[in-house]
Amino acid sequence: MTNKAITRSYEIVEGTTNDIVSRGFQIFMVVLISLNVLMVIVETEEVIASQFSTLFYTFELFSIVIFTIEYIGRIVLCPLNPKYEGKKFARVRFALTPMMLIDLAAILPFFLPFIVTDLRFIRIIRLLRLFRLFKLARYSEPMQTLGEVLKSKMGDLAVAFFILFIVLIFASSLMYHVEHEAQPEAFSSIPTSMWWGVVTLTTIGYGDTYPVTPAGKLVAAGVAILGIAVYAIPTGIMASAFTEEMRKKKNASKNCPHCGKEIID
Distance of CA 54 to the CA centre of its chain: 30
pLDDT band at 80 (very low <50, low <70, confident <90, very high): confident
Average pLDDT on 161-173 reads: 90
| Residues 215, 178 contacting (CB under 8 angstroms) | yes
pLDDT at 261 over 70: no
pTM for this predicted structure: 0.65
pLDDT in tens, 222-238: 998 888 888 788 888 88
Question: Which residues on neighbouring strands pair with residue 262, listed in sequence order?
Answer: 255
* Assigned CATH class of 3-139: mainly alpha
Domain boundaries, the chain: 3-139, 154-252
Average pLDDT on 98-115 reads: 80
pLDDT, residue 83, reads 83
pLDDT at 26 over 60: yes
Average pLDDT on 91-99 reads: 88
pLDDT in tens, 119-165: 555 566 666 677 777 777 777 777 778 778 888 888 888 888 888 88
pLDDT, residue 232, reads 82
pLDDT band at 22 (very low <50, low <70, confident <90, very high): confident
pLDDT, residue 147, reads 77
Percent of the chain exceeding pLDDT 70 equals 87
pLDDT at 195 over 70: yes
pLDDT band at 259 (very low <50, low <70, confident <90, very high): low
Average pLDDT, the chain: 82
3-state secondary structure string across the chain = CCHHHHHHHHHHHHCCCCCHHHHHHHHHHHHHHHHHHHHHHHCCCHHHHHHCHHHHHHHHHHHHHHHHHHHHHHHHHHHHCCCCCCCCCHHHHHHCCHHHHHHHHHHHHHHHHHCCCCHHHHHHHHHHHHHHHHHHHHCCHHHHHHHHHHHHCHHHHHHHHHHHHHHHHHHHHHHHHHHCCCCCCCCCCHHHHHHHHHHHHCCCCCCCCCCCCHHHHHHHHHHHHHHHHHHHHHHHHHHHHHHHHHHHHHHHCCECCCCCCECCC
pLDDT, residue 1, reads 59
CATH architecture of 154-252: Orthogonal Bundle (1.10)
Average pLDDT on 16-44 reads: 86
pLDDT at 109 over 60: yes
pLDDT band at 256 (very low <50, low <70, confident <90, very high): low
pLDDT in tens, 45-69: 888 888 888 998 899 899 999 999 9
Question: Which residues on neighbouring strands pair with residue 65, listed in sequence order?
Answer: none
| Residues 135, 34 contacting (CB under 8 angstroms) | no
pLDDT band at 262 (very low <50, low <70, confident <90, very high): low
pLDDT, residue 255, reads 55
